[in-house]
Amino acid sequence: MARALQIQHVFGASPVPRGGLLSECGEARSFGSTTGDAAGGSYQRPSSRREDIPAATLPWQMIVLAEITNFAGLRRHLGRPRADRLIFDLIGRASDCVPGIRSVGAGRTIAEFELGAIDLAAIEATVEALSAAFDTPFDLDGELHRVDIVLAAAAAPAGSTEDVRLVEEAEGALEQARIELRPIVRDLSAGTPAFDRLSLVRELPAAIANGEMFLQYQPKVHVRRQAISSAEALIRWQHPRRGLILPGDFITIAEEARQISALTLWTLDQVIADQKTLCGDGRDLTIFINISGQLLGDAEFVAEACRKVGAAGVRIGFEITETAVIRDPQSAIANLCRFDDVGITIAIDDYGAGLSSLAYLKQLPARELKIDKMFILQLTSSNRDPLIVRSTIDLAHALEMEVTAEGVETQAALALLSVMGCDMVQGYLISRPVSIEAFRQFLRDDNLQLGGDLREAMFKRPASFWRTG
């Protein structure tokens, strides 16, 4: 029986768990509107019909997360190959139940959907319909099985909140739904108050000291090796009153308040501690930290960072932007060479988004170049972006750098990047940024699913496509 739905009205950014989804996203697709009867029983559509309304005109946007909670038991009974396809049974049933719903992410146990809605009542009806649909047993190869599914969602008026905040709220709702075993919907229509910059400046030192900062990790996959090669550490601020504050809202403040060094050194300490945990799991990965351009000219920071990394004996990387070097190239290049001398891997971040300078590029001790996601998101629909990406890959390889494509979200983009010889990919296709605990679980999974037949085809490329060494 479907459990009672709870609607939570959220003012601003409510607290979310320090975790997230491990999302191996398939290419987004629109589903049909036929009513499903996959298990020999019927289920209801939402009472507010929306299939005749263009999605772009709908006044509400919504993210829905559905998680299979009895996956382990089903896998033991069905076998791993069939169990790994359960998520597609779930997606198919959702598409039959709710016209216009779109699957934008599918992991082994979690599916993510997005859709528009007329109003909050329609959102509530949609979640209730999905809950009832999933409560019906699934016909799996001729046998009826109950698939236990928890549902969570976040909704807001269209254009009123950033996508990343909507997803974070949905993940927070999912964490609560796991505990309460009923659907949770967070309504963000109360709005988000503007951050008081002066207050954040005053609160930042205490936030660093009191453990309000936390890290999430987004893995990078080496395309040819089919393995996690490294990860990027991303900082978040869980404010006790304001809720989740994303880096875009406080990094600039930290720079202006001269707190960026303390914040980055805290990040480095936490990454080193997490690195040691990963090493205990048998995983020796490079973890990358974003470094402000302001710090490349800070001799005290440079010395302390080199001391910490040298003493820790773990693999650390620093990601810097092109503009960080252009501000003071002589000092920046000298300090980057110091980092390189102590074994810190240097990566050039957001390449192509700034004023690229080949004169500086050839002087940097960088081993990795990250192509900005603005060139990747439309890779399969643009005429120019593939040319830019391919030429950038060739240039980086000529300079003996490996290439990472940021913002990889579709199988089609992944396939094209593999043909171009891109070394590594990062993006929601592989995983969202997740907590260290979730990242460890991801690494323990011995079968990284990059897409069935596509995976088999894409990794059979001649050696000439790849940088060697």
Res 442: pLDDT: 85
Please state whether beta strands 143-145 and 110-117 pair in parallel, antiparallel, or not at all (unpaired): unpaired
3-state helix, strand, coil in the chain (%, to 5): 40, 20, 35
Which tokens in the block code for residue 420?
A: 């171009």
The string of pLDDT tens digits covering residues 299-350 is 999 999 999 999 998 999 999 987 777 678 889 999 999 999 999 999 999 8
3-state secondary structure of 444: helix
Whether 353 has a pLDDT exceeding 50, the answer reads yes
Mean pLDDT, rounded, for 255-268: 94
Asked whether the beta carbons of 229 and 222 are under 8 A apart, the reply is yes
pTM: 0.66
Domains along the chain with CATH numbers: 6-187 (3.30.70.270), 197-465 (3.20.20.450)
- Smallest CA-to-CA distance from 371 within 326, 407, 323 is with 407
The helix or strand, by DSSP H or E, that contains position 265, with its residue range, turns out to be helix 260-280
Res 336: pLDDT: 95
Mean pLDDT, rounded, for 383-403: 94
| Distance of alpha carbon 431 from alpha carbon 452, whole angstroms | 17
Chain centroid, CA 219 distance in Å: 9
- Smallest CA-to-CA distance from 314 within 349, 348, 342, 347 is with 342
| Distance of alpha carbon 355 from alpha carbon 351, whole angstroms | 9
